């Protein structure tokens, strides 16, 4: 009942803004979907169907209202090898199959979806909360740069490639300033960005991006100005146009499983990479939109929605995809915060394919590029330049590294690398925190009071604290201010005990947690006499038994 009320609220709380922002996003999705389809080596309609299916399913059932999903470049790049290999295999069969790579992609998307759904079922989406802030800033900066670079391919060549600036400067400058198409595009990009910058200062009741696109399109259409349009862009890439029908069920893929004999490793490895890239980009985008809207989405629900959408893509002929940070920011900035905005964007995109292709094909590429440039400006974390000298050096290195790797490789590799670097830095710093305070009791027993976390990184420092040869006959190690974190720590304790016993000395362990005592006793019976059970410090009871946190303070005699 509560879920139903929440869903209805997400559709009805601000319908005007959601509808207008959804239309804006739909227009911005067209060139992106087409461009990424060309990157992957498939027909533009496959990219558009993929954007529609991803957008529609995740808008209705995803974990983040207002977030936009569609065909993305990060996943398109991974698909290229699979499609090329499938096409090559198709030509070697006894009965050659044209475009077999595309059929392999549809099959692969079934596995991608299954993996992503399992990630949601096993609640792996929550791990996005563990991503450090420097990684998040690096991800945002790197992705802004990637979005910017992806727009450059839409520009007409301002200078012929055979003219070098260094060998013939005058000819290079002449070619630059005489390229009218380039400067017309620059002018309309500037007009688009100017409208998007200035209009919100006058009114925020209508999306500035939508008005900018309409104004620039109106000027070029009614002014009969020749510019690069969505239609010309598709035809230059080898496509036939936007016009198409409804997505159809791809039943033929189930009869093509025989072509995968000997190639299952390619299918499954590609599926794992696509699933990982899709989830990382989607969950990172979800986290970013959470921060912008100051609300919280559901990462596990998003995993299941993304997986379901990718399975439907495989069944109905879409290229698959994931969340899109650029379009998500356009949507949020235009006022689209509910599920209605994403639904309108997806439905409008399908309507463009079914009914509005001739009109949409007349939209100037310059208007859409201008919108994306404003997204780049809004996405880039400009504050990172201000804080780069104020944050720890390790965090600055992580921020820069993630940004660079995102541009150089891809988002998934960058985020994983950033998390690993951050984890290693944390482990190194934590390893230096281990301390041992030493004192001699009245009976001559030497006590080592251990402070700090004991884990694989601090084991070496821990071992160096003890002087087995010169210590007295009776030793006591007190773990009241330490936490045993992993197997390496348990092994270090075991080795210390063995060393003291080999030297003929008595050793006792105090204030070990219950789980640590259980594991040590399983490891060796010698710990039955080494572990001290009598505990008189109330702090230890609190640490050793987490359920004690549920008791009121009055229950303790402190």
Q: What pLDDT, on the 0 to 100 scale, is given for residue 465?
A: 93
pTM score, whole prediction: 0.73
- How many CB atoms sit inside 10 A of residue 23's CB? 22
Residue 540: enclosing H or E segment and its boundaries? helix 538-544
Q: pLDDT class for 542, splitting at 50, 70, 90?
A: very low
Quick: pLDDT tens for 365-408: 898 888 888 888 888 889 899 898 889 999 999 999 999 998 88
Helix, strand, or coil here: 472? coil
> What is the pLDDT of the chain when averaged over all its residues?
85
Q: What angle do CA 306, 125, 275 make, to 5 degrees?
A: 45
**Looking at 52-56, 214-218, 303-307, 543-547, which range is the least confident one?**
543-547
In this predicted structure, the answer to whether residue 172 has a pLDDT above a threshold of 50 is: yes
Q: What pLDDT, on the 0 to 100 scale, is given for residue 10?
A: 60
Q: Count of alpha carbons within 13 Å of 532, Cβ hemisphere only?
A: 17
Cα–Cα distance, 357 to 362 (Å, whole number):
9
Calculate the CA 352 to chain-centre distance: 29
Structure-block tokens of residue 62: 């995803």
In this predicted structure, the answer to whether residue 208 has a pLDDT above a threshold of 80 is: yes
Cα–Cα distance, 52 to 533 (Å, whole number):
64
Quick: pLDDT tens for 311-326: 999 999 999 999 998 8
- How many CB atoms sit inside 10 A of residue 507's CB? 23
**Looking at 157-166, 399-408, 412-421, which range is the least confident one?**
157-166
Q: What pLDDT, on the 0 to 100 scale, is given for residue 448?
A: 94
Q: What pLDDT, on the 0 to 100 scale, is given for residue 1?
A: 41
Q: What pLDDT, on the 0 to 100 scale, is given for residue 60?
A: 94
Domains of the chain: 2-151+228-367 (no CATH), 433-555 (3.30.750.24)
Cα–Cα distance, 426 to 459 (Å, whole number):
15
**Looking at 91-100, 152-161, 421-430, which range is the least confident one?**
152-161
Q: What is the mean pLDDT of residues 138-164?
A: 78
């Amino acid at each position: 009942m509560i879920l139903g009320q929440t869903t209805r609220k997400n559709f009805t709380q601000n319908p005007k803004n959601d509808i207008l922002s959804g239309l804006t996003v739909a227009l911005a999705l067209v060139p992106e979907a087409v461009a990424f389809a060309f990157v992957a080596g498939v027909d533009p309609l496959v990219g558009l169907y993929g954007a529609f299916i991803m957008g529609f399913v995740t808008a209705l059932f995803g974990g983040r209202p207002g977030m936009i999903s569609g065909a993305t470049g990060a996943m398109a790049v991974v698909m290229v090898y699979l499609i090329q290999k499938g096409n090559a295999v198709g030509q070697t069969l006894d009965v050659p199959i044209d475009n077999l790579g595309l059929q392999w992609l549809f099959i692969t998307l079934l596995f991608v979806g299954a993996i992503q759904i399992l990630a949601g079922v096993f609640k792996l989406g929550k791990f996005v909360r563990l991503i450090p802030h420097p990684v998040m800033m690096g991800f945002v900066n790197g992705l802004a740069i990637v979005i910017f670079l992806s727009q450059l391919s839409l520009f007409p060549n301002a200078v012929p490639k055979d003219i070098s600036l260094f060998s013939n400067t005058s000819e290079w400058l002449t070619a630059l300033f005489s390229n009218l198409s380039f400067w017309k595009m620059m002018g309309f990009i500037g007009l688009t960005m100017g409208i998007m910058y200035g209009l919100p200062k006058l009114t925020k009741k209508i999306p500035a991006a939508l008005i900018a696109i309409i104004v620039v399109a109106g000027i070029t259409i009614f002014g009969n100005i020749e510019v690069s349009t969505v239609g010309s862009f598709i035809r230059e890439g080898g496509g036939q146009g936007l016009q198409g029908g409804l997505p159809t069920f791809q039943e033929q893929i189930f009869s093509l499983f025989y072509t995968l004999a000997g190639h299952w490793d390619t299918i499954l490895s590609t599926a794992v990479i696509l699933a990982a890239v899709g989830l990382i980009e989607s969950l990172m985008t979800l986290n970013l939109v959470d921060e912008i809207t100051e609300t919280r989405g559901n990462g596990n629900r998003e995993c299941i929605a993304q997986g379901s959408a990718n399975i439907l893509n495989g069944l109905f002929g879409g290229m698959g995809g994931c969340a899109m940070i650029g379009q998500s920011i356009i949507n949020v900035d235009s006022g689209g915060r509910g599920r209605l905005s994403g639904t309108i964007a997806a439905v409008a995109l399908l309507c463009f394919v079914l009914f509005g292709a001739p009109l949409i094909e007349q939209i100037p590429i310059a208007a859409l590029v201008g919108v994306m440039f404003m997204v780049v400006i809004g996405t880039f974390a400009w504050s990172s330049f201000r804080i780069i000298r104020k944050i720890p050096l390790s965090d600055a290195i992580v921020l820069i590294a993630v940004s660079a790797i995102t541009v150089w490789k891809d988002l998934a590799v960058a985020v994983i690398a950033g998390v690993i670097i951050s984890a290693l830095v944390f482990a190194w710093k934590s390893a230096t925190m281990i301390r041992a305070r030493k004192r001699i009791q009245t009976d001559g027993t030497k006590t080592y009071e251990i402070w700090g976390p004991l884990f694989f990184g601090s084991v070496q420092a821990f071992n160096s604290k003890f002087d087995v040869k010169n210590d007295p006959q009776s030793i006591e190690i007190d773990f009241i201010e330490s936490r045993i974190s992993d197997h390496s720590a348990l092994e270090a304790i075991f080795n210390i005990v063995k060393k003291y016993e080999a030297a003929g000395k008595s050793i006792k362990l105090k204030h070990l947690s219950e789980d640590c005592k259980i594991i040590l006793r399983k490891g060796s019976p010698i710990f039955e006499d080494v572990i001290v059970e009598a505990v008189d410090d109330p702090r230890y009871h609190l640490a050793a038994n987490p359920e004690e946190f549920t008791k009121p303070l009055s229950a303790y005699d402190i």
